[in-house]
């Protein structure tokens, strides 16, 4: 039967390779539509959780997983042999960077090799991992064609970037439009057909590389704008201006302005990583994009700025970083999520430790947080989230808000702490005695 008919009749068997923040929601939503979905992951623990009907991703409900597994629509395995039986395979594996910030495509390559060994005529492969333009055609396609089958003729290949935004209560995989680029027009149309079952709009571009570049544009747009506001925040501190007040005022303009906010730096799997993917690839073209690298550098400088703010706050109390007790609130990469990958808190804590401070942290979403074993702090430090109590907060020399989770009672924190460094305006509107709150992007308080 033609793949079109299988998709229309919910008879297409779907495999999602990589059951993480991107892959698990995708697998669950297709299963919910009535497709038989198999999640394939090399992480036996994740596979085991799904089979037990449990979710390890905050935005995916455990009861949904349990129900779908029970009904037989969703299953999980670490056996790549199941790839042979699939009609459609989504690749949602990680695309991290190395210590020196060069792209690490090893997961995409390994996943492509697993597929190539078992590739069947008629299968549709859709790469969703964020990557540099050219990956689908220059890296994935030759591996798949090593099977002897030809893309666009014997099997179908497309790239469709993922736009999932963890912690977002308004937009999820079912109401966020998607972009797709195929190796041939039919490849793109097939990918559009299946994705359209899930979301209202699937926009076709002329090639996989245009789709790959679309994702990078979206994230580099954010990186550059965040860097701009971070730079203006530091300038505002010197000029005795509150950038938060300025952003609010500028936001009254109904056109031509979009607010971005300063903070402790950027984190997660996307904004700190993706610019380097494009930067690295562009060098092959004798092109050195200056905006992209400058923005990344400015954002990476923010944890250092936060630590200098902490020193300033400690100074105001006659203390130095050496031997100071510092409590970090929120170590996830942004508020209200359970993902701490590349979180700015990591560098903040490493710099505090290397400055001689005693650091503890609290995060309702992250139980354990390991820092160090890098050039910033050679020893590995495995920290565990400390319960927030009056004694804990009162016993600190400084409390620093790095990820401003909604669940925190900021009035209580400010009341208990001797001095607070707020990296993201979480204490907006909170009553505090003079000299109590040092805010990134605002003039230092005079006690």
Interface contacts to ligand NAD, rule CB under 6 A: 17-23, 40-43, 46, 92-95, 107, 110-111, 114, 129-130, 162, 164, 166, 269-270
Distance, CA of 38 to CA of 21 (rounded, Å): 16
Closer CB to ligand NAD, residue 331 or residue 398? 331
Closer CB to ligand NAD, residue 52 or residue 379? 52
Is the alpha carbon torsion for 37, 39, 40, 44 positive or negative? negative
Nearest residue by C-beta to ligand NAD? 20
In the residue annotation, 92 being an active-site residue is answered as no
The distance of closest approach from Cβ of residue 94 to ligand NAD in the complex, given in angstroms and rounded to an integer, is 4
* Catalytically annotated residue among 15, 92, 270, 398: 270
The distance of closest approach from Cβ of residue 25 to ligand NAD in the complex, given in angstroms and rounded to an integer, is 9
The distance of closest approach from Cβ of residue 167 to ligand NAD in the complex, given in angstroms and rounded to an integer, is 9
The distance of closest approach from Cβ of residue 19 to ligand NAD in the complex, given in angstroms and rounded to an integer, is 5
Looking at residue 140, the DSSP 8-state letter turns out to be I
Closer CB to ligand NAD, residue 337 or residue 400? 337
Distance, CA of 369 to CA of 380 (rounded, Å): 11
Closer CB to ligand NAD, residue 17 or residue 401? 17
Of 373, 348, 374, the residue nearest 361 (C-alpha): 348
The distance of closest approach from Cβ of residue 336 to ligand NAD in the complex, given in angstroms and rounded to an integer, is 13
Query: Residue-wise over 295-329: b if at least 16 C-beta within 10 A, else e?
Result: bbebbbbbbebbbebbbebbebeebebeebbbbbb
**Sheet of strand 437-439: strand arrangement:** 358-362, 325-329, 398-401, 420-422, 437-439
Of 305, 370, 301, 374, the residue nearest 341 (C-alpha): 370
Closer CB to ligand NAD, residue 6 or residue 269? 269
Element (H, E) at 48: helix 44-51
Distance, CA of 97 to CA of 269 (rounded, Å): 10
Annotated catalytic sites, by residue? 270
């Amino acid at each position: 039967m033609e793949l079109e008919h299988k998709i229309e009749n919910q008879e297409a068997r779907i495999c999602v390779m990589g059951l993480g923040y991107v892959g698990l929601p995708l697998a669950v939503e297709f299963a919910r539509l009535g497709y038989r979905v198999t999640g394939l992951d090399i992480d036996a623990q994740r596979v085991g959780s799904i089979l037990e009907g449990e979710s390890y991703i905050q935005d995916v409900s455990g009861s949904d997983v349990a129900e779908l597994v029970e009904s037989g629509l969703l299953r999980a395995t670490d056996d790549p042999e199941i790839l042979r039986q699939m009609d459609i395979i989504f690749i949602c594996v990680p695309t991290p960077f190395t210590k020196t910030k060069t792209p690490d495509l090893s997961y995409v390559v390994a996943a492509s090799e697993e597929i190539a060994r078992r590739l069947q005529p008629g299968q549709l492969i859709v790469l969703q991992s964020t990557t540099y333009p050219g990956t689908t055609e220059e890296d994935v396609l030759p591996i798949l064609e090593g099977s002897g089958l030809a893309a666009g003729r014997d099997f179908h290949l497309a790239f469709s970037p993922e736009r999932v935004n963890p912690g977002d209560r308004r937009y999820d995989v079912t109401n966020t439009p998607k972009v797709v680029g195929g190796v041939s027009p039919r490849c793109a149309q097939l990918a559009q057909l299946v994705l359209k079952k899930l979301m209202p709009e699937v926009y076709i571009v002329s090639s996989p590389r245009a789709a790959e570049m679309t994702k990078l544009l979206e994230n580099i747009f954010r990186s550059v704008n965040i860097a701009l506001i971070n730079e203006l925040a530091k300038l505002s501190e010197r000029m005795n201006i509150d950038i938060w007040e300025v952003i609010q005022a500028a936001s009254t303009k109904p056109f031509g302005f979009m607010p971005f906010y300063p903070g402790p730096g950027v984190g997660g799997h996307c904004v700190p990583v993706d610019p380097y993917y494009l930067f690295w690839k562009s060098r092959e073209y004798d092109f050195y994009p200056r905006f992209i690298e400058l923005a990344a550098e400015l954002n990476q400088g923010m944890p250092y700025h936060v630590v200098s703010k902490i020193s300033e706050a400690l100074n105001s109390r006659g203390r130095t970083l050496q031997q100071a007790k510092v409590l970090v609130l929120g170590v996830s990469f942004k508020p209200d999520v359970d993902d701490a990958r590349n979180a700015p808190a990591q560098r903040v804590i490493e710099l505090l430790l290397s400055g001689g401070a005693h650091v503890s942290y609290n995060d309702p979403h992250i139980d354990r947080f390991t820092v160090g074993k890098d050039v910033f702090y050679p020893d590995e430090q495995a920290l565990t989230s400390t319960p927030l109590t009056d004694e804990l907060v009162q016993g600190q020399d400084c409390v620093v808000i790095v990820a401003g989770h909604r669940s925190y009672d900021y009035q209580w924190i400010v009341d208990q702490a001797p001095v607070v460094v707020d990296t993201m305006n979480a204490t907006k509107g909170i009553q505090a005695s003079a000299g109590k709150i040092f805010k990134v992007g605002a003039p230092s308080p005079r006690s």
